[in-house]
């Protein structure tokens, strides 16, 4: 089975990571690196995708940044874990909807490992818990190498993600696990960013078909 190198990046500005993903995608296409999984958190920003631009969506009261992933607007900020798989998908996996489905299954499996029952909504991509969207997904592909990925709201500042109408979903439908009362895992341990990262690593092989190597601490300025 293929391997995937796991990089833990801490907190990185979105625009820095966006460029880093493009650089890593080029290296993956050229075969200079293997499949790579980035775990990162961003300072608060609302990314505005092509759909939001077409729909003339206006975001007020939040810092914003354009993005070239699919979809509309997505909140990023403290208490949210973002996972960016820079992956060269095999021929049998070369379906955008199929890759999105695998990422949805991955988020659901990781949350279940923490003791939380999540599920899909056929009308809206992502992962849902108790009628609220917890995980958002947006991707961009070049030569079937993906960048961007998934974000999971764990313990976000009150009323920030809830205050946005995201991807055609009314305000209040996006929230975090802590707002829904999920503050500990099934063993009573704190349900924080580190815990969810560990769960994503544990379920990576099953969901993405790649054996995780790492994680190792890494920063974008280390890219050569």
Q: Where in the sequence numbering do the catalytic residues fall?
A: 167
Query: Helices 96-113 and 193-208: crossing angle, nearest 10°?
Result: 130
Q: What share of the chain is helix, strand, coil (3-state, %, to 5)?
A: 30, 35, 40
Q: Which of 75, 72, 81 is nearest to 154 (CA)?
A: 81
Q: Which of 126, 130, 92 is nearest to 107 (CA)?
A: 126
Phi and psi at residue 17, to the nearest 5°: -70, -35
- Please give, one letter per residue, the 3-state secondary structure of 114-165: CCCCCEEECCEEEEEECCEEEEEEEEEEECCEEEEEEEEECCCCCCCCCCCC
Under 8 Å between Cβ of 179 and 158 = yes
Q: Work out the angle at residue 79's Cα, subtended by the Cα atoms of residues 103 and 121, and round it to the nearest 5 degrees.
A: 35
Q: Can you point out the beta strands (E) in the chain?
A: 3-11, 36-41, 45-48, 64-66, 73-76, 80-86, 119-121, 124-129, 132-142, 145-153, 211-217
């Amino acid at each position: 089975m293929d391997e995937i190198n796991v990089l833990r990046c801490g907190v990185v500005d979105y625009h820095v990571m966006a460029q880093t993903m493009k650089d890593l995608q080029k290296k993956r296409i050229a075969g200079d690196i293997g499949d790579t999984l980035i775990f990162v958190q961003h300072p608060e920003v609302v990314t505005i995708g092509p759909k939001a631009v077409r729909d003339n969506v206006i975001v007020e009261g939040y810092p914003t940044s354009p993005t070239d992933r699919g979809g509309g607007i997505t909140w990023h900020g403290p208490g949210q874990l973002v996972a960016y798989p820079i992956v060269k998908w095999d021929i049998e996996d070369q379906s955008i909807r199929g890759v999105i489905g695998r990422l949805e299954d991955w988020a659901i499996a990781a949350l279940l490992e923490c003791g939380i029952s999540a599920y899909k909504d056929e009308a809206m991509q992502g992962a849902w818990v108790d009628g609220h969207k917890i995980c958002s997904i947006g991707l961009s592909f070049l030569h079937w190498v993906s960048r961007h990925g998934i974000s999971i709201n764990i313990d976000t500042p009150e009323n920030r993600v809830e205050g946005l109408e995201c991807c055609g979903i009314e305000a209040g439908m996006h929230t975090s696990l802590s707002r829904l009362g999920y503050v500990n895992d099934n063993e009573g341990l704190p349900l924080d960013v580190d815990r969810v990262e560990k769960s994503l690593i544990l379920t990576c092989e099953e969901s993405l078909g790649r054996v995780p190597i790492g994680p190792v601490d890494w920063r974008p300025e280390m890219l050569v």
